[in-house]
Amino acid sequence: MNCQYCNNPVPPQVSNCPSCGAPVPQQNNPSPDRPVPPPPGVNNPVQQVKNPTLAALLSCLVPGLGQLYNGQTTKGIVIILANIALAVITGGVSAVAILIVAIIDALKIAEKINRGATVGEWEFF
């Protein structure tokens, strides 16, 4: 059986989910037409679905936008500013390398998010 709040597996004969701490209902079939609200004090982790292709395309347009789309705000802003600074210093040569890394990173991080993995603010592919 899976927890109705975090969807992680719950061993039989337990009263609370080991992942999120939510109480485990005694009945195995909650009503599918009525969503069950989380109990007080329990976060309801709703997995965000990210489109990896969109993340890659955004990074292709402006390196760092894919990271912003994926929720890595600080990393995205740093990549945008670093790309501008290094492009000015190197006459645009560095922009190609940063572009490739940003596209691959945005794509892979979006895929990780969709698998339900926890992704840190500075985590790279």
Residue 79 lies in a domain: yes
16-20, 25-29, 30-34: least confidently modelled range: 30-34
Asked if 65 and 105 sit in the same domain, the reply is: yes
The three-class DSSP label of residue 2 is strand
Among 24, 32, 30, residue whose Cα is nearest residue 6: 24
Same domain, 108 and 78: yes
In the numeric block, the tokens 């500013």 are attached to 81
Smallest Cα–Cα separation from 69: which of 54, 84, 82? 54
* Residues 64 and 109 grouped into a single domain: yes
Q: For the chain, how many structural domains are there in total?
A: 2
Q: What is the pLDDT of residue 31?
A: 53
The more confidently predicted of residues 76 and 37 is 76
The pLDDT score that the predictor gives to residue 43 is 47
Same domain for 96 and 68, yes or no, is yes
pTM of the model: 0.61
Provide the domain limits for residue 2. Answer: 1-46
- One domain, residues 62 and 95: yes
